[in-house]
Structure 1
Amino acid sequence: MYEIRVFDSFSSAHHLRNYKGRCERVHGHNWKVELVVSGKELKNGMLIDFTILKEKLKGVLDILDHRDLNTIPFFKKRNPTSENICLYIYGKIEKALEKYPLSIKSVTVWENEKQCASYVKVR
């Protein structure tokens, strides 16, 4: 089994609903995102071209970049927590990569250098 990972980032604002504390107020982050994919088959010695994988991730992150996450339909009924941002990115990237013979292993989102959340789909 092969595994590759790419990183990218985006900036956005959000606030948490039904939460008591500083994060209930609108605030922003410079988010770092890690996408890990895996697979058994190589084509021309590659699981997937890094350029393609980075473009697919960037396409998803462009939807979130410089936005108030609370205004995005996915987050209307879900708090825009790091965990739910992982789930959102996972769902979008899963669709973007469906024609490739690989699996998404995980999506990890850092809201700062000291804390992150990951989504790993149980198969």
Structure 2
Amino acid sequence: MMQYITHNHRITMYDIFVRTHFAGAHHLRDYPGDCEKPHGHNWKVKITVRATELDHLGMGIDFTVLKKHVKEVIDTIDHCDLNEHEAFRVLNPSSEHIAMYLFDNLADLLSHERYSLYSVTVSETDNQGLVYYGPQK
């Protein structure tokens, strides 16, 4: 039987992530510039789950489980005109709102006694993006 070293009096955390991407079109309503015109991006996304304990196999969350849930939610916005998507008919489909949408739709799927969704990173290019941490509890 395998024994694990415990870290008495210390809180341990593991940030487990997957990277993915999706393509879509959008325009930002009332934006004073080119982004008000319809255009597209190949957004890059990083989903991070924070685990405070490991399971009997030594994992915080199985990558297979994490990738499955992320794919389910990403598929709802992949290759869409985001302005026509129900979630963005009122909200501008900015990277910030896209990150919030992904977080809100993944939070329950990635909630367990050992782990929970920690952050969603959305990048329009390799050089610009943001990290969304969701509502503070």
Task: Tell me the TM-score range normalised by the shorter chain.
Answer: over 0.9
Match of 1:36 among 48, 52, 57: 48
Higher relative contact order (CA 8 A, sep 6+): 1
Matches within 5 A, 1:8-47: 8-43=20-55, 44-47=57-60
**Aligned positions, number:** 123
More helix by share: 1
C-alpha deviation, 1:98, in angstroms: 3.1
**Structure 1 unpaired stretches of 5+:** none
Q: TM-score, normalised by structure 1?
A: 0.94
Match of 2:102 among 64, 70, 89: 89
Match of 1:68 among 81, 100, 103: 81
Provide the aligned C-alpha RMSD in A: 1.2
What SS does the aligned partner of 1:80 have? coil
What SS does the aligned partner of 1:111 have? strand
Greater than 4 Å deviation, 4+ residue runs? none
Q: TM-score, normalised by structure 2?
A: 0.85
Could you tell me the percent identity over the aligned residues?
A: 46
